[in-house]
Chain A
Amino acid sequence: MLKKTSWLIATAVTMTLGGVAQADWKPAKPVEFIVTSAPGGGTDNFARIVQSIIAKHKLMEQPIVVTNKGGGSGAEGFIYTKVATGDSHKLTFGTNNAYLLPYVAKLAYKPDELTPVAAMALDEFLLWVKADAPYKDAKSYIEAVKAKPDTFKMGGSQSKDTDQTLTSLIQDATGAKFIYVPFQGGGAAGVQLAGGHIDSNTNNPNENAGQWKAGAITPLCVFSPTRLQGGVKVTATMGWSDIPTCKEAGIPIDQFQMPRTVWLPGGVPADAVTFYADILKKVSETPEWKEYIERTSQTDRFLAGQDLKTFIASDDAKNRKVFEQEGWIAR
């Protein structure tokens, strides 16, 4: 009886989704989610949220195993993926580090040895200062930095990574000059700012939300073309949507965002790519996903297929320019 019911449901699901999910390819064994960060990091949360949504809505028949391979800023996971060429049961979660890491370090993989599946969200960057600092807006802060070059400390996660790239872009766009201090992660950079040991950081909303709510730090502007969503007030007077874009605030940087990306190894059938892209698309339409996006104040943007390729190419070119200029390219 039970069997019959589940068969009926399965048929019904196949029929309703028939047009979208081309059931030519299906995982035949457990699927491995490779996380290119340590447990607890942003990429780790991303992968585990996707895992929990797939499990909850039973979007895939085969079970999922999550493994963390965060060594070498994530290079460990991408090399593991490259070596697994042709294996359609390994899904790798990362950011734009997938195609940017090989620029700054000599690594045993090339971005074109991985198959892009989807980008599921864009994480935002903001300029943060201590709440009791005397700067009312981004403009006055940048003026203060310009007045005393090489004295203001900008903290960030890692070296030659997104935070330092953005710092370099800010310096170029405004003529200000910071001391960049690399920490182990965004969380550490956030606490250092709350403690007043650095003057500013460019953390993602999620990394600094707690300290902002507590009134220790405050955002000056967001490096996004439009203001953030979310009308709820975080502090007594301000919510995410009250933060001006950096362009409005006088820093001429239009856009700096970090995509949350999903990859397969090279040499996998096109059907497998479509299969996972469809599942991830369904994940991105669930209320749990919307809740995750809202809680972490990211931008909800699902990209796959040609759109994704175009996005990667332009993001790659933009970052490469900074790397070349700063002399970070590893030879």
Chain B
Amino acid sequence: MENFASLLHGFGVALTTYHVMLMMIGVLLGILVGVLPGLGAPNGVSLLLPLTFTMDPVAAIILLTSMYWGALFGGSTTSILFNIPGEPSSVATTFDGYPMARQGQATQALTLAFLSAGFGALVGVILITVLSTWVAKFALRFSSPEYFAVYFLAFASFIGLGAASPFKTVVSMGLGFAFAAVGMDTVSGGLRLTYGFNELLSGISFLIAVIGLFGIGELMLTMEEGLRFDGIRARVKIRDVFKTIATLPRYWVTLLRSAAVGCWMGVTPGGPTAASFMSYGLAKRLSRRKEGFGQGEPEGVVAPETADHAAGSSAILPMLALGVPGSATAAVMMGGLMIWGLNPGPMLFVERPDFVWGLIASMYLGNIVAVLMVLATIPLFASILRIPFAIIGPVIVVVCFIGAYTVAGRPFDLWLALAFGVVGYLFKKLDYPIAPLVLAMVLGDKAEDAFRQSMIMSRGSLSIFWSNGLVTTLMLIGLALAFGPLLSSALGRLMKPKASSAVA
């Protein structure tokens, strides 16, 4: 219970006019960088970092984390409106958010996304408040085999989801693994797949791939289909926002499950992107309206958004308590902590309680501020869709390329984005799914590193994945998720040999 006393003290620290003002500025800036694909939270936070050198640590971290929340919200906006994820973690939101927008339900999709995101974030913060000590200890039990099991779980829960043929899914995933392997390899210390190109040394940025595959690929398709977005005639009504808010409790099962998945992935460093994919996969599997997924099912927006934000906020905990950042943005903030003279690690909670609990209190407030602010922007964003394509199309192209350039400031990335655009277009034309490629690119090299580290530790024996209760449980759940559908359909075929071709 002493955590609650500390939290109340934290609210005392965070609730000053100056700090609340910083939160609003941070959230606004965050929405801005989140909406621009490529710029994203990590880049935004590092741009802002030099400004915080002269601020006191509490004010500085409030500004940076508020920006992070804003960016997470902003990232979902473009996913829903244009099928261009502003952040890696909002890729899964495009699957149903974009179809909803095309059907004229942009307002509903945005409202659902923001509210469920806010819910997820709050659950994440509550977890930090109540269980910080326990969670920090639990995270220490994770080593390479456990990490691999977590990534495996994320892959497994997503396997066999799409309507595409398994063969095409494998091809797409394989390409993703190949792209993820480009660059310097941690385990061997050597270069892979760079073919002497200096530009490929640092690997292929996941963001560039997303901008190309989704943004530019989508635009090419739209152009071919006649230069217009469908569903733009829908009126933007403020009333729809409130109506949608009233429907939210209907999704309570999805909300709770996704928040749990998100917290789990945020604490074990799976990260927000893995969390959103996994949560979407589980929602689709367990939903009664499976066939609606991918065609504008509201649950398909609620699930990834909740998990994304739950993971985003709970990832702050390993950063503070262990000094291991749970996400790229957390890594930048950790650099900030050091410059402000703080040492992240187990003793931070003891040595600087004002900082830690001020930060945690500001996470409650910052997220509430963020939800209110983004809800207010919905009419604005939703009406963007009513602008004729002849105007908005070129603007999106420009935004995509600016975004691609800002990822690392390299002209080469512009060509790469264009190439991925062509790949995205071909994938859609030939009916190859993009999602497996994206998932493999995000988690591929981490999973590979974890696997090879495990193999070094065990001197090549696979038994390390069954060496303790934790890793065994994770692997068994993963295997059940991966092969469950296969087994059940095989069993189904055995029972009813005639109705076999119906399942695909």
Contact = CB atoms under 8 A, between A and B. Distances in A.
Interface of A: 38-41, 44-45, 48-49, 51-52, 55-56, 66-73, 75-76, 79, 104-108, 150, 153, 158-161, 164, 179-184, 187-188, 190-192, 194-195, 197-198, 206, 209-211, 213-214, 216, 291, 295, 328, 330
B186 A184 contact: yes
Given A108-B198, A161-B189, A181 B457 contact: yes
Contacts of B202: 69-72, 76
A76 B338 contact: no
Contacts of A73: 184, 189
Interface of B: 42, 46, 49-50, 53-54, 140-144, 183-191, 196, 198, 201-203, 322-325, 331-335, 338-339, 341, 343-348, 408-409, 449, 453, 456-457, 459
Contacts of A107: 201
A162 to B, nearest CB: 12
Please name the 10 residue pairs, one residue from A and one from B, whose CB atoms are nearest each other, closest first.
A71-B202, A210-B345, A159-B189, A197-B143, A214-B346, A72-B201, A160-B189, A40-B335, A40-B331, A195-B140
Contacts of A160: 189
Contacts of A158: 186, 189
A180 B457 CA distance: 8
Contacts of B188: 159
Contact of A195 (B141, B187, B189): B141
A179 B332 contact: no
B46 A68 contact: yes
19 contacts: A39-B331, A40-B331, A41-B335, A45-B335, A49-B339, A55-B50, A67-B409, A71-B184, A72-B184, A75-B201, A79-B201, A108-B198, A191-B140, A192-B143, A197-B143, A213-B346, A214-B345, A214-B346, A295-B343
A105 B186 contact: no
Nearest to B445: A184
Contacts of B322: 191, 194
* Interface class of chain A by DSSP: mixed
B341 A79 contact: no
A179 B459 CA distance: 9
A39 B324 contact: no
Contacts of B456: 179-182
A105 B324 contact: no
A206 to B, nearest CB: 8
A182 B347 CA distance: 26
Contacts of A45: 335, 338-339
Contact of B339 (A52, A105, A106, A328): A52
B189 A184 contact: no
A181 to B, nearest CB: 5
Contact of A105 (B190, B341, B343): B190
B346 to A, nearest CB: 4
Contacts of A210: 323, 343-348
Contacts of B190: 104-105, 159, 330
A69 to B, nearest CB: 7
Contact of B201 (A40, A71, A180): A71
Contacts of B198: 76, 79, 108
A81 B334 CA distance: 27
A40 B345 contact: no
Contacts of A209: 343, 345
Contacts of A190: 323
A52 B333 CA distance: 16
A62 to B, nearest CB: 15
A184 B449 contact: yes
Contacts of A179: 456-457, 459
Given A183-B453, A191-B323, 7 more contacts: A52-B50, A55-B50, A104-B189, A153-B457, A191-B140, A210-B323, A210-B346
A26 to B, nearest CB: 22
Contacts of A183: 186, 453
Contacts of B347: 210, 213-214
Nearest to A192: B143
Contacts of B408: 69
Given A51-B50, A291-B341, A159 B186 contact: yes
Contacts of A180: 456
A182 B201 CA distance: 19
Nearest to A70: B202
Q: Which of A40, A153, A209 has the most CB of B within 10 A?
A: A40
Nearest to A190: B323
Given A40-B334, A195-B141, A211-B345, A182 B187 contact: yes
Contacts of A216: 346
